[in-house]
Amino acid sequence: MEKVIVTGGAGFIGSHLSEALSDKGYQVIIIDNLSTGKIENLGPILKKSNVKFIKGSITDLQLLQEAFRGVRYVFHQAAIPSVPRSIENPEISHEANATGTLNVLLAAKDNKVGKIICASSSSVYGDTPTLPKQEDMPPNPQSPYAVSKLMGEYYCRVFQKVYALSAVCLRYFNVFGPRQDPLSQYSAVIPKFARKLAEGKPPVIFGDGEQTRDFTFVKDVVSANILAAESKATGIFNIGSGTRITINELVKLMGDHIRPVYEPSRPGDILHSLADITRARSFGYLPKYTIAEGLKETIRELK
């Protein structure tokens, strides 16, 4: 069994990815400090003989150096993933997302890891009005979170050029699905809405609700990570559905009997987002879930 690392493997996306990798027969080492991840996200896979959990942080370079020995792929998912949180506390966001990524790359380089697959974000595009977003567009980050993710991309590019470390950066577009925390004040829009609807309360929309998003189901994101790792792909790729809806339309899709409450837009929020996924198709990425199908699975688990 080839050995792989999943940083942030107890988180929302990381736990789904860890599960899929273990099912494929990889020897999976999960590193997570459980600051935002949850051990219960890993459920029964922790009992599998090919899964190992290490409680630790990507800010601990020595831990990473030891864990990365003999590793084929590193799936780097660990991050503090919130735009509002990064605005409240940019230092912590930078330490986890930028310095943490540098540590992961250093350990990967020193241990001659085959490839790193790094989670980036569509937030690096910022408020550039051009749609759909293409990978060669100039970045225009609007928050400390977006800046930290862009720094991670630049570090990956430099480590590939200078140290010959193969690297893929996947720019995720509004990922949603089961295990996404609906209770945090920093929760993403879909789990927040689902929680409000379950409680019979109106969801809160920041702005007029006509902003658009490209929502991507978590199982499609998992597929993209594994395809990118097992291919010869390197560089930056958008990972989205290639479709978009307004937040007002999202509310109707989730429950058209509920009237939302509108509040002022938040700093760092962008108006429109849509992925051009042409480049990712080159390594076989093809989203299989519509937003309606993904919502059905997500709401079923939340209930």
Q: What is the pLDDT of residues 51-80, one digit of tens each?
A: 999 999 999 999 999 999 999 999 999 999
Q: Distance between CA 2 and CA 25 in Å, rounded?
A: 8
Indicate the SS3 state at residue 52.
strand
For residue 223, pLDDT beyond 70:
yes
Where residue 29 falls among pLDDT bands split at 50, 70, 90? very high
Say whether pLDDT at 38 is over 90: yes
In this prediction the pTM is 0.94
> What is the CA angle 200-206-207, rounded to 5?
125
Percent of the chain's residues with pLDDT above 90: 81
Nearest to 115 by CA among 105, 102, 129: 105
Tell whether the model's pLDDT for residue 186 goes beyond 60.
Answer: no
For residue 209, the model assigns a pLDDT of 95
Return d(Cα 109, Cα 95) in angstroms, integer: 20
Per annotation, catalytic residue among 26, 145, 155, 285: 145
C-beta separation of 217 from 289 below 8 A: yes
- Percent of the chain's residues with pLDDT above 70: 98
Burial class (CB in 10 A: 0-12, 13-18, 19+), 161: exposed
- Residue 189: what pLDDT? 87
155 catalytically annotated = no
Contacts 24+ apart (CB under 8 A), 249-257: 250/189, 250/190, 250/193, 250/213, 250/215, 250/291, 251/193, 251/203, 251/205, 251/209, 253/291, 253/292, 253/295, 254/190, 254/193, 254/194, 254/197, 254/295, 254/299, 255/197
Q: What was the pLDDT predicted at 185? A: 59
Least confident of 82-96, 184-198, 212-226: 184-198
Residues making up the chain, counted from first to last: 303
- Least trusted range by pLDDT, from 134-138, 199-203, 224-228, 229-233: 199-203
Residue 100 confidence class, pLDDT cut points 50, 70, 90: very high
Query: Does 3.40.50.300 match the CATH number of domain 3-174+216-240+276-282?
Result: no
pLDDT at 13 over 80: yes
